[in-house]
Amino acid sequence: MNSSSSALAAFSQENLDPMAESFPKHTQIVVIGGGVIGTAIAFRLAELGSRDIAVLERGQLGCGTSWHAAGNIPLMDQIPEMVQLNRLAADLYEWFEQEQSIGWRRCGRVILARTESRMAEFRSLVNSANRADVEAYLMSPQEAQAKLPNFRTDDLVGALWSPSDGRINPTDLISTYVRKARAQGVQFFEDTKVKSVIVTDSRVAGVETSQGDIRCEYVVNCAGLWSRPLGLQNEIDIPVYPVEHFYALTEPIDGITPDMPTFRDPDALIYGREEVGGLLVGCFDLNAKPVSPETLPDDFSFSLLNEDWEQFGPYMERGMHLVPALANTGIKTLVNGPESFTPDGFPILDHVKAVKGYFVLAGLNSAGILRSAGMALALAEWIVNSDPGIDVSRFSLNRFRPQHNDEAWLRDQVRHAPSGHFAAPGG
């Protein structure tokens, strides 16, 4: 358990006294999953006036994927709905930061281009960003090096500068969501595994849990790694599957400061940012390894998968090419955590038409920290006001067919989902 997970676990123990809240027999809304998505949904529902809410977490809050997220917050995207959601996140996090630090910093982001075709994509992306009132500028290799002085830029064609992009501490964000939701009456229950959703006459009637049954009118399946298996309990197809996902944390490097922009090298499939005076260097693997949720132990809480330098090594070599100082810098740790992807790289935000009251927000494609604020608001609006407030048709379950939830097919498809998603303009 690293410092981030330790801090979140300490927050959990301090603020979720099991004696403070008795396990309910009935509540209006049950949120399944206490990661950044589940806690954000609870916060957004409470903001809209809902109070009768129970968030059920099988382990501890944030213990699955959220705690080891990199926490980068880009604003640009070719898709207008995504830009709208990204801006909602940045605005909310800035407001949170004014009240209590969540590590939010608008440090900007430099995206590197190694080919003329990549630079052409950047021109289109800048136009899309400017139409959405998001600042974005093309840069020369020399201008990129001025932003990233430790980086090699002589072999670049150019770069893109997005000054409004930022970064955040994921565990502090989760703690803030929980604190604000609890202040408005939301209940959180840890060590509570949902065995199945109870459906009567094609509508949600409750949930069966390890602590007993709860009657409810609405269920939100945002169970992360376990969203698909939970859906299958009710013959609901949720094509989401986790893969191994890597980043390395280095020892301090001279000249690396907290205000350094985040960076992304889509042609090399690597990204990174400053971390305690060193660098976080991660990749979006060209041939990622699927991870069956059923093979993970029940106590997979603040846990990681085994290090795999054979898999990550080629990407670290690309990092050393980009930042020559890395060749002489020690590695503190290699993080290998499961991240859930959909076959097409778009998240799932929808209600299940065959089961009234059943909502899904899953498959965030390694962007849960970024998407939590906006997508949780859309889902909360959908539950409370019967309208998500934005066009969410792109995220519908209906885009998939039954064969897309076949495990063998899904495992094969998600191998290439991370690299395809990352290499796309604005990804």
Task: Identify the domain boundary among 322, 340, 358.
Answer: 340
Query: Do residues 57 and 202 share a domain?
Result: yes
Residues 54 and 126 in one domain: no
Structure-token pair, residue 79: 């898709």
Domain presence at residue 84: no
Give CA torsion, residues 62, 65, 68, 69, to 10 deg.
-100
CATH of the domain at 378: 3.50.50.60
- Specify whether 228 is located in the same domain as 256: no
What's the CA angle centered on 252, arms 248 and 257, to 5 degrees?
A: 100
Q: Which residues of the chain have pLDDT under 50?
A: 18-19
Co-location of 154 and 257 in the same domain: yes
Q: Is residue 79 part of a domain?
A: no
Q: Are residues 246 and 331 in the same domain?
A: yes
CA atoms within 13 A on the CB side of 132: 23
Strand partners, 333: 249
Give me the phi and psi of 371, to 5 degrees please.
Answer: -85, -15
Q: 130 and 174, same structural domain?
A: no
Q: Is residue 426 part of a domain?
A: no
CA distance 259 to 262: 9
Number of domains in the chain: 2
pLDDT at 274: 98
Domain check: are 332 and 203 in the same one?
no
Residue that finishes a domain, picked among 294, 314, 340: 340
pLDDT at 232: 98
On whether residue 148 sits in a domain, the answer given is yes
Burial 229-253 (b: 16+ CB within 10 A, else e): ebbeebebbbbbbbbbbbbbbbeeb
Domain extent, residue 120, equals 105-165+242-340
**What local confidence, expressed as pLDDT, does residue 265 receive?**
97
pLDDT at 298: 86
Dig out the tokens for 208 from the structure.
């069966």
Going by C-alpha positions, the residue among 422, 424, 417, 344 that lies closest to residue 121 is 424
In a domain, 36, yes or no: yes
d(CA 271, CA 252): 17
Q: What are the Cα distances from residue 184, in Å, to 43, 44, 172, 177? A: 9, 11, 19, 11
Diameter of the chain by CA atoms? Answer: 65
Q: Are residues 273 and 366 in the same domain?
A: no
Burial of 174 (0-12, 13-18, 19+ CB in 10 A): buried
| pLDDT the model gives residue 176 | 98
Sheet with 194-200: strands ordered across: 194-200, 203-209, 212-215
| 365 lies in some domain | yes
Tokens of 210: 């390890």
Is 268 in the same domain as 395?
no
Please give the helix or strand (H or E) that residue 420 lies within, else none. helix 417-423
Q: Same domain for 335 and 273?
A: yes
For 263-286, b where at least 16 C-beta lie within 10 A, e where not — what string? bbbbebbbbbbbbeebbbbbbbbe
Last residue of a domain, one of 283, 308, 340: 340
pLDDT at 4: 58
What is the C-alpha to C-alpha distance for residues 30 and 198, in angstroms, rounded to an integer? 12
CA distances for 231 relative to 204, 210, 235, 253, 359, angstroms: 13, 17, 6, 46, 11
Q: What CATH number is attached to the domain comprising 274?
A: 3.30.9.10
Backbone angles phi and psi of 391, in degrees to 5? -75, 110
How far is the CA of 170 from the CAs of 20, 110, 147, 209, 384, in angstroms?
26, 21, 25, 27, 27
- In angstroms, the CA 84 to CA 256 distance is 32
For residues 124 and 78, what is the distance between their CA atoms, to the nearest angstrom?
A: 8
Q: Compute CA 198 distance to the chain's CA centroid, rounded to the nearest angstrom.
A: 28
Residue 99 lies in a domain: no
> CA 270 to CA 276: how far, in whole Å?
19
Q: What is the pTM of this model?
A: 0.94
pLDDT computed for residue 422 by the predictor: 76
- Is 391 contained in some domain? yes
Q: Is the same domain home to 250 and 318?
A: yes
Q: Bridge partners of 360? A: 221, 350
129 lies in the same domain as 252: yes
